[in-house]
Amino acid sequence: MGLGEKKEVVRSYIFQGLKREVAFQISAITKHQYYYKNRKTKQGRGCSTTTFYTDNYGVKFEVSNDVVIQEIKQVHQDPDTDYGYQKMETSLQISGYNINHKKVYRLMKEAQLLKEKHQKPSKTRVKYRKVFPSQPFEVLEMDIKFVWVEEYKMHCYILTTIDTFTRVVLYWMVAYSIKKQDVKQAWEHIIIHHLQPNNCLEKGINIEVRNDNDSRFSAKTIQDFFKNNYLNQVFTHPYTPQENGHIESFHAILAKKIRPYNFWKIEDLESVLTLFYEKYNNERLHSSVCNLPPNIFLECWNNGLIEQKRDEIKRKITFKLKIPYNQISGNTSLKCSSLQNLEIPLFLADELNFNKNEMVRPETFLQTSV
């Protein structure tokens, strides 16, 4: 029963001769609730129409709010001082006005001088915690790892993008600073050298790009870039790295590789990474892809040599090689010796058992090739 209905019951009881207090108890209503009448006018003290101003001689007097609004408009005439209400408060106080941010907000709102509220671009979250791709390049993951370099006493950033179906590293870069323009450039490389040659649009592949909530990934420029190139970007939930598990697992392998080294210059780190990524893609056996190197697995898949078994309930994929392992060399164009044409730095020669007299440091930044 609403308050209005209770009031009607009380009136009927009182009209029949029942005492008012008894009627209140029966209807479970207080005296204040019964007699209260809502006022249509706004409660409280009215807004002030003047503002205190202190001139250069220290004399304090009141000025009309219209004067303050004109002062605000004059400040807005300069594009470099086109402030919002918070900075305008400080500007007016410096000019001598005794005013706070609430009054500045009210005056600017009445004069329609407020700025549009900045809205962060919306994020599409991942739907499933475990990825379940059915073919290469369907679900891609990217992330950034930090590595300490002694020369400038700061971290270097390593950006890596991986295909979750084949485990192939599609792109990587290392730099002291990675910005949204670098992320865009990385994906331009991936589109030109991997997605377009695979005819992803013609095959109707709904490509999903998974990443965490890094500001470089959530920038509006990057989100618009993905939309324009028909890439479905999704963000992992906060504090859930398992939703980006493939790239996190890869970073664990990378961390194990670089843990013994103390890098003095970024060039030393780059040399180690160049060898690591080449070996990872072309030599290192991966248990999730039939104990094959990722590039070998990708070519076997394209040649129809891989059988896929999918568990829809557990969202798990297992692969089986249709031919014996000793026949792989005759069925693929890739060899498990991708380091023969690379220039090996001196401090890695012992690890790889190369002739030190033939070693020179690479002068150019080598990218992985798939």
Q: How many CB atoms are closer than 10 A to CB 72?
A: 19
State whether 157 and 270 are in the same domain.
yes
State whether 24 and 65 are in the same domain.
no
Q: How far is CA 213 from the centre of its chain?
A: 3
Backbone angles phi, psi at 297, to 5 degrees: -65, -40
Rounded CA gap, 143 and 161, in Å?
Answer: 7
Domain that residue 230 falls in: 139-358
Tell me what pLDDT residue 365 has: 37
317 band by pLDDT with thresholds 50, 70 and 90: very high
State whether 19 and 74 are in the same domain.
no
Domain assignment present for residue 125? The answer is: no
State whether 66 and 213 are in the same domain.
no
| Total number of domains constituting the chain | 3
Q: Which of 51-55, 133-137, 253-257, 346-350 has the lowest mean pLDDT?
A: 346-350
Domain assignment present for residue 227? The answer is: yes
DSSP classification of residue 43: P
pLDDT tens digits along 357-370: 433 333 333 333 33
Say which residue the tokens 């898949």 belong to. Answer: 301
Residue 92 neighbours by CB under 8 Å, 6+ apart: 68, 71, 72, 99, 104
pLDDT tens digits along 252-294: 999 999 999 999 999 999 999 999 999 999 999 999 999 999 9
Residues, the chain: 370
pTM: 0.69
HEC assignment per residue over 256-309:
HHHCCCCECCHHHHHHHHHHHHHHHHHCCCEHHHCCECHHHHHHHHHCCCEEEE
Rounded CA gap, 141 and 81, in Å?
Answer: 42
CATH code where residue 314 lies = 3.30.420.10
